Chains A and B, each alone.
Chain A
């Protein structure tokens, strides 16, 4: 791959989910192996390890289990990140464990992903975990889901098996918000339809998994309409060369900002114009998500970390009562009416959990309004009351300004992921 190709590749972040023993680690091993992203010393290390555990073939799953406890127990404990590239695209995989703390880990992995691969064992079809994973991918606003019907080798590559699972999945996923849903029959173990086209499933006319990953359209996944710039850091050099420079550093969270645009600072409501958009001596005319830039304005107005620069006439909602779907991740159950620290964009605040409306049974999507005790891995609809107004958008409109986390003030642990509805 020459440097020019390399500099033009874009980035796809995806997450993989599946239940126990459905071959998820094998699939990742296969993607890395067939795309030649595994090095000889890594291969030798897993060959040695496979021999030790008495396995007859090289266990590609050992590539992804990084911690000693994971290798000993043959399970994946924590989200692990993997990298590979093809000449078209660069990929970051958030590999999430199938069993222990599945919801917490899958939400973590999905929060930064554009796409989810959900694995299904061809012999078992849709199981509870398939529904759970689909629901989480949809809740976390992933624009693309690929269902891989795996272990086709164990059902004689039978077209009827695949089509039955596909139609069941179609019926189920019509209840979800995800627009782009695809189905691919594969065998991760034998390599069918992962990187190389299967000769044993000539009835399948769709793309291989890798071809799909390379070509899925992701440029439209960011919000390029509503201008949102949460200020992260104020840059004031106060040097002889830059005596009066006052720049607002941050990452564009939505929309396209242009030099000369009339903007408004929140919460003050003061307006000004964008004078420059800088990045170490390079002046940009425009800034869009997810660029990190430093902006200067034509007027000296009071702006600090936690404030947000937006376009005049397109403001987020300033809310103190915030309706969210909340995924609980703390060891201790949620305290009704408890107070928690909160992080939203670059802003810190505190909040009170004012009301729990219902808990979602993520296997049936049933709403339970009676049992409102919220424990780890539970998902609930809640109302938060914040100490100060937050500038929020609906999560479905903007994942960056529609998400927040809660922190236990006694332990400092992150205890909840919240999605603004």
Chain B
């Protein structure tokens, strides 16, 4: 490589930092959505880089389904304490208790869909005008059509067939009162980029990503964790297996994979050899071919 050229990972980092700074400059009250998963941890790391030595000039918000792995919450709280950032928790449980949303019933019941209305309500409550998230275009085909700056109307809806053209690196964040934006700083990263960056930057992650023993059972080809939030059917056998999670989300729909990968290097080797996408283990995406597109149109992240 030429003396004055960047590696692809350095270039992706520079692009993401540019997007995050642009959000902070163009919006009055932005927020970073934080799930405790690796993508949002990387986004937070990039945000720290973007404003160093000043503090990150916006809060983090966790849309909490109440169905979390305890490791995620412990990790989140430690990270917040260490960084001095401000955390807002938007609680799905609270919305259920207040009768604002109705919980799904049945064996495949999930609070994943309820996150959308809780998120939209929190955006209004805190007057956020831009919510940044760690979505990547390589994750899912509806996400492949996303802009860096993605406009949402006053119902929080996404109109994928009528998006603003996004030219060069000139982001148009202009909007009317009541509307907001979603911004996706790591749009151009792949799962492998994320892992290599975590390795290179020595970013800490929740223990769930690494191989461990856990009681799991199989449903529709996915290994689900036995938790208090999910009922097993009669024929489903709970076994203690050596597994890890490729993505971290709501405990009722995040699938585990059998894995011995105990370090970031092991995970990178595993990801390089794997033949299924990371969202292949997500029950929420399996509901239909356009499951993600439909959820995104309503305001999901």
B-binding residues in A (CB < 8 A): 1, 3, 6-11, 39-42, 45, 49, 63-69, 71, 77-83, 85, 89-90, 92, 104-105, 107-108, 111-112, 219-220, 222, 224, 232-233, 235-239, 241-242, 245, 247, 249-251, 256, 278-281, 286, 288, 290-292, 294, 305, 329, 341, 343-344, 346, 399-400, 403-405, 407, 412-414, 417
Q: Show 18 A/B contacts (Cβ-Cβ < 8 Å), sorted by A.
A: A1-B272, A9-B9, A39-B276, A66-B140, A66-B141, A66-B145, A66-B293, A67-B145, A67-B293, A68-B290, A107-B165, A233-B21, A249-B51, A291-B10, A343-B172, A399-B168, A405-B172, A414-B165
Q: Which residues of A contact B49 (CB under 8 A)?
A: 279-280
Q: Are A292 and B50 in contact (CB under 8 A)?
A: yes
A-binding residues in B (CB < 8 A): 1-2, 4-15, 17-18, 21-22, 24-25, 48-55, 137-138, 140-145, 160-161, 163-170, 172, 174-176, 187-188, 190, 192-193, 196, 199-200, 265, 268, 272, 274-277, 280, 289-290, 293
Q: Report the bound CA distance from A400 to B170 in whole Å.
A: 9
Q: Report the bound CA distance from A236 to B6 in whole Å.
A: 28
Q: Report the bound CA distance from A346 to B164 in whole Å.
A: 19
Q: Are B293 and A219 in contact (CB under 8 A)?
A: no
A28 nearest CB across to chain B (Å): 11
Q: Are B190 and A412 in contact (CB under 8 A)?
A: no
Partner of B188, one of A9, A42, A83, A233: A83
Partner of A68, one of B8, B14, B293: B293
Q: Which residues of B contact A71 (CB under 8 A)?
A: 289
Do A83 and B190 contact each other (CB < 8 Å), given the known contacts A78-B160, A280-B49, A280-B52?
yes
B205 nearest CB across to chain A (Å): 16
Q: Which residues of A contact B166 (CB under 8 A)?
A: 108, 414
Q: Are A108 and B265 in contact (CB under 8 A)?
A: no
Q: Are A412 and B188 in contact (CB under 8 A)?
A: no
Q: Which residues of A contact B200 (CB under 8 A)?
A: 3, 7
The chain B residue sitting closest to A343, CB to CB, is B170
Q: Which residues of A contact B280 (CB under 8 A)?
A: 39, 41
Q: Report the bound CA distance from A117 to B54 in whole Å.
A: 43
A126 nearest CB across to chain B (Å): 27
Q: Report the bound CA distance from A163 to B4 in whole Å.
A: 38
Q: Which residues of A contact B2 (CB under 8 A)?
A: 219-220
**Central interface residue in A286, A341, A412, by most chain B CB within 10 Å:** A412
Interface class of chain A by DSSP: mixed
Partner of A414, one of B161, B167, B176: B167
Q: Report the bound CA distance from A341 to B12 in whole Å.
A: 29
Q: Report the bound CA distance from A63 to B144 in whole Å.
A: 11
Q: Are A249 and B21 in contact (CB under 8 A)?
A: yes
Q: Report the bound CA distance from A325 to B141 in whole Å.
A: 34
Q: Are B165 and A412 in contact (CB under 8 A)?
A: no
Q: Report the bound CA distance from A404 to B275 in whole Å.
A: 42
Q: Are A281 and B52 in contact (CB under 8 A)?
A: yes
Q: Report the bound CA distance from A290 to B18 in whole Å.
A: 10
